[in-house]
Amino acid sequence: MNEAHDGWKRCIRTRQVGQRILPVAHRAGVRHLAMEALHPNFAKKCNSNRRVPDEETGYLSQPEMKEFIQTALDLGWTLIPYEANSLQWLSNKYNIVFQNPNDPQEPFDQHQKFQADLMSMEFSNWREEQQALNLIAALQSLPTGTPMLVWCGNGHNAKMVIEDWKPTGYQFQRHSVINPFVIDQTRTVNFDSGETRVETELAVQFVDQLTKHGGTAGFITEEAPSIFGDDEIADALLRSTQNELE
């Protein structure tokens, strides 16, 4: 399942919906939450103390993200980080030996220095593949058949190649025997307020039905009305009237 963000702006609704589904997933047997936004030290603190630390910045400091994570911890879940290590890619590509990879300043300095490389499609596809492999490794460390909820940003959970981009969802299927059930929340999000999007227009068209469900509702892709067309990227789609980035 994904959330929508652009830089430090985010669509709060996507995280609030995520929080609402946690008890439902719990009743279905889920006890592990893998999150793209996590880093290992943060996850370790949460899993040990059962509380979200206050000192974080960025996505992990935003109130609704903290509430989302705290809800999972209150349910007794275990957090699993799966973000790729960009320093590993830089090290392999340029034969760099980092002096102190545990120093939070060093990754920042290297990201600034190699920013153009880290914006390339080469790095992006490497990152997507590493994240998929990290998820597979996490599952393999658990008893066979253990369910896991994976939380990512934007289109990383897409199940097919999009032009030259090979998202984590696609890579996960390629490297495993698992066909994940993917939920997409981002179709109606206003990533560009000056751009009219067909998906946003469809949300407006169905505003009465959406309002009856609190502003957000969805459907299984294979049961989608023909007006929404075919979709091979996700298994379920959510539409909403709450689509602003804040």
pLDDT in tens, 7-18: 999 999 999 999
Residue range 225-239: average pLDDT?
82
Q: What is the largest CA-CA distance in the chain?
A: 58
User: In one letter, which amino acid is 88?
Assistant: Q
**In the chain, where does DSSP find H-type helix?**
12-27, 40-49, 63-74, 86-94, 105-113, 115-118, 121-140, 168-175, 198-205, 207-212
pLDDT computed for residue 200 by the predictor: 63
pLDDT computed for residue 193 by the predictor: 57
Q: Do the beta carbons of residue 37 and residue 60 sit within 8 Å?
A: yes
Residue range 25-29: average pLDDT?
98
| pLDDT at residue 198 tops 60 | no
Q: What are phi and psi of 115, to 5 degrees?
A: -60, -40
What's the token pair of residue 47?
């899993």
Residue range 167-171: average pLDDT?
98
| pLDDT at residue 114 tops 60 | yes
**98 SS3 class:** coil
| pLDDT at residue 157 tops 80 | yes
- Residue 94: band (very low, low, confident or very high) from pLDDT cuts 50, 70, 90: confident
DSSP-derived letter for residue 245 is -
Q: Parallel, antiparallel, or unpaired: how do β-strands 183-184 and 216-220 relate?
A: unpaired
Among candidates 63, 59, 221, 31, which has minimal Cα distance to 152?
59
Could you tell me the CA-to-CA distances from 60 to 36, 42, 75, 122, 190 in Å, in that order? 11, 9, 19, 27, 22
Q: What are phi and psi of 163, to 5 degrees?
A: 55, -115
